[in-house]
């Protein structure tokens, strides 16, 4: 005689198995600060009140530094941080050859609802980018210490996102200076 497992019992078993597996995985670090206003992807030029306008080949610091192949437009702006009234200096670099607008900020931010401090680098694909990416889509990275924001190992972590800001892939990150993109591997 065959035993048949009722559908409800099977569903509960699958749910608890999934829940147990999800609790063993580490949290994906999600930085909760938008650096680049999305409309900048359509017009990546410094505003009239921008400061420190010059040509540079890089932006960021330490692990959050990206280098571009040729001198590119660089400037600084004072932008409001999301949800706060303070203005923060933000560095911008537009690599017109790759069709990417980079923004770097060092300061306070939230990650998985945890207060953090450090550098965050964000990249937005602009119109006519040779990679054919959606305008306004891009990625961000942040250098995180072990035990912070749900990560077990120190390093560079980030996410890729669509033009609407929906995350498509997150994990441990490495900046690819050849493509201007990031390479991601799952967090452990």
78/86 Cα distance (integer angstroms): 9
How many of the other CB atoms lie within 10 Å of CB of 74?
20
Residues in the chain with pLDDT values less than 50: 2-3, 5-26
d(CA 73, CA 43): 13
| pLDDT for the residue numbered 3 | 47
- Tell me the pTM: 0.82
Per-residue confidence (pLDDT) for residue 83, from 0 to 100: 55
CA distance 158 to 140: 5
**Structure-block tokens of residue 65:** 């530094």
Q: In what order do the strands lie in the sheet with 100-111?
A: 51-59, 66-80, 87-95, 100-111, 114-125, 138-144, 155-161, 167-176, 181-185
Cα–Cα distance between 93 and 104 in angstroms, integer?
A: 9
DSSP 8-class letter at 139: E
Q: What is the pLDDT of residue 95?
A: 96
Predicted pLDDT of residue 84: 60
User: How far out from the chain centre does Cα 43 lie?
Assistant: 20
């Amino acid at each position: 005689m065959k035993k048949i497992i009722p559908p409800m019992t099977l569903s509960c078993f699958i749910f608890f198995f999934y829940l147990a597996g999800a609790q063993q995985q580490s949290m994906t670090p999600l930085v909760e600060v938008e650096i680049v206003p999305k409309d900048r992807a359509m017009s990546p030029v410094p505003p009239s009140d921008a400061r420190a306008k010059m040509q540079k080949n890089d932006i960021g610091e330490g692990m959050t530094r990206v280098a571009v192949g040729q001198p590119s437009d660089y400037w600084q702006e004072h932008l409001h941080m999301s949800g706060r009234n303070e203005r923060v200096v933000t560095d911008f670099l537009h690599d017109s050859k790759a069709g990417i607008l980079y923004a770097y900020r060092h300061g306070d931010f939230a990650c998985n609802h945890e207060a953090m401090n450090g550098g965050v680098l964000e990249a937005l694909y602009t119109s006519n980018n040779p990679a054919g990416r959606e305008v306004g889509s891009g990625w961000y990275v942040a250098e995180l210490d072990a035990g912070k924001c749900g990560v077990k190992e120190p390093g560079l972590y980030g996410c890729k996102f669509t033009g609407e800001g929906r995350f498509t892939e997150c994990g441990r990150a490495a900046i690819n200076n050849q493509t201007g993109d990031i390479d991601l591997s799952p967090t452990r």
